[in-house]
Amino acid sequence: MDLVNALVALLNFVVIPATAYGAQLALGALGVTLIYGILRFSNFAHGDTMAFGAMATILVTWVLQGAGISFGPLPTALLALPVGIVAAAALLLATDKVVYRFYRRQRVTPVILVIVSMGVMFIYNGLVRFIIGPDDQSFGDGARFIINARQFRDMTGLSEPLAFKTSQGITIVTAVIVVAILFWFLNHTRTGKSMRAFSDNEDLALLSGINPDRVVKITWIIVAALATVAGVLYGLDKSFHPFTYFQLLLPVFAAAIVGGLGSPLGAIVGGFVIAYSEVTVTYAFKKVANYVLPENLEIDSLAQLLSTDYKFAVSFAILVIVLLFRPTGLFRGKAV
């Protein structure tokens, strides 16, 4: 029995990666849930919006790196982030102007907007590939680890290593800051409250004199910021590969729906539920189990419920279960 080493292994392979991944999903799901709450459709282009924002940030990062500008131990991409957000906001506002607004004026049903957003998704998809190419891009720099495996071993003398990547630390800290700002904005500013009112009861919001065009515009800008931050953090943590952002759409939607579409708090909780489920179900618990179990009971199997190739099945399964038993999600969002 070696509880300490078991705990360290669990922390290293499950808790830290899942928390960082959960924060990325939560930021993505917040964007999806805001659009659902205010514009009343599921935006399938959200994954590719994240890719576009990340791409814009990467291009600016390269320029900064070329000019020899760095951010010390932190990745240069953080300096480029505001420019990426502006680029993504410009893209979303332009898309709204030429595409979504037309359908809004026709007062089409939400399902038509969903299909429209799929069209937009393919265009963004092509746009990103056209500009930066379909391959992996690396753009992370600065210190790689906050704590690396050897430091940790020297510090504690434990046999089990623990590594805490800078990208993971930045992801968690940034997500906390972004979420805090978002909630403060929604709950304490006049504009934020008008967005909540619009989401709650559109007709009454109009009767109260809330300008729908302004609400929609501000929503797109916030969504651009959330998507870009999520996309950049994911890219720093894993790598930037346009296709993975398209694949992220499933866990991001699962997170938003599990939490309850339209509920920002639900999106955050949903993000962590999906991330923790995905990581724990696909992690081989052999090592942790053998630290905890008495010697004569040690196991030889991997103790892995699902191969990592099936990680998307986890989001899908959770999605189906939630839709079957609690269609409005954990935090009572709108019914899907």
Partner 1 sequence: MVPEATQEQHPVTPAGTAPFLIGDRMTGGYGAADILHDCTVAVEKGEIAVIVGPNGAGKSTAMKAVFGMLNLRSGAVRLDGEDITTLSPQDRVAKGMAFVPQTSNIFTSMTVEENLEMGAFLRRDDIRGTMEQIYDLFPILRDKRRQAAGELSGGQRQQVAVGRALMTQPKVLMLDEPTAGVSPIVMDELFDRIIEVARTGISILMVEQNARQALEIADKGYVLVQGANAYTNTGRALLADPEVRRTFLGG
Helix (H, G, I), strand (E, B) or coil at 165: strand
Helix (H, G, I), strand (E, B) or coil at 69: coil
DSSP 304-332: -SS-GGGHHHHHHHHHHHHHHH-TTTTTT
Least Å distance between CB 260 and partner 1?
Answer: 11
Q: Per rule CB under 8 A, is residue 30 in the interface with partner 1?
A: no
Residues 259-288 that bind partner 1 (CB under 8 A): none
Residues 164-193 that bind partner 1 (CB under 8 A): 190, 193
Interface pick for partner 1 out of 129, 196, 238, 286 (rule CB under 8 A): 196
Least Å distance between CB 199 and partner 1?
Answer: 8
Residue recorded with tokens 């992690």: 283
Q: Per rule CB under 8 A, is residue 205 in the interface with partner 1?
A: yes
The helix (H) or strand (E) run that includes residue 164 is strand 164-165
Window of 63-71, 162-170, 196-204, 217-225 that interacts with partner 1 by CB under 8 A: 196-204
Q: Are 89 and 225 in contact (CB under 8 A)?
A: yes
CA distances (Å), 295 to each of 86, 290, 291, 299, in order? 58, 8, 9, 9
Least Å distance between CB 178 and partner 1?
Answer: 22
Q: Per rule CB under 8 A, is residue 324 in the interface with partner 1?
A: no
Amino acid at 198: F
Amino acid at 210: I
Q: How many residues does the chain have?
A: 336
Q: Per rule CB under 8 A, is residue 309 in the interface with partner 1?
A: no
> In DSSP terms, which residues pair with 145 in a beta bridge?
165
Least Å distance between CB 227 and partner 1?
Answer: 24
Residues 210-249 that bind partner 1 (CB under 8 A): 210
Please give the structure tokens belonging to residue 278: 């995905």
Decide whether 72 or 190 has the Cβ nearer to partner 1: 190
Q: Per rule CB under 8 A, is residue 104 in the interface with partner 1?
A: no
Amino acid at 286: K
Helix (H, G, I), strand (E, B) or coil at 146: strand
Interface pick for partner 1 out of 1, 94, 115, 206 (rule CB under 8 A): 206
Interface pick for partner 1 out of 197, 218, 292, 303 (rule CB under 8 A): 197
Least Å distance between CB 269 and partner 1?
Answer: 17
Q: Per rule CB under 8 A, is residue 209 in the interface with partner 1?
A: yes
Residue recorded with tokens 């939490």: 259
Separation between Cα atoms, residue 316 and residue 333, nearest integer Å:
19
Q: Per rule CB under 8 A, is residue 204 in the interface with partner 1?
A: yes
Neighbours of 107 (CB within 10 A): 6
Interface pick for partner 1 out of 125, 166, 194, 328 (rule CB under 8 A): 194
- Judged by the rule CB under 8 A, the positions of this chain that interact with partner 1 are 190, 193-194, 196-197, 200-201, 203-210
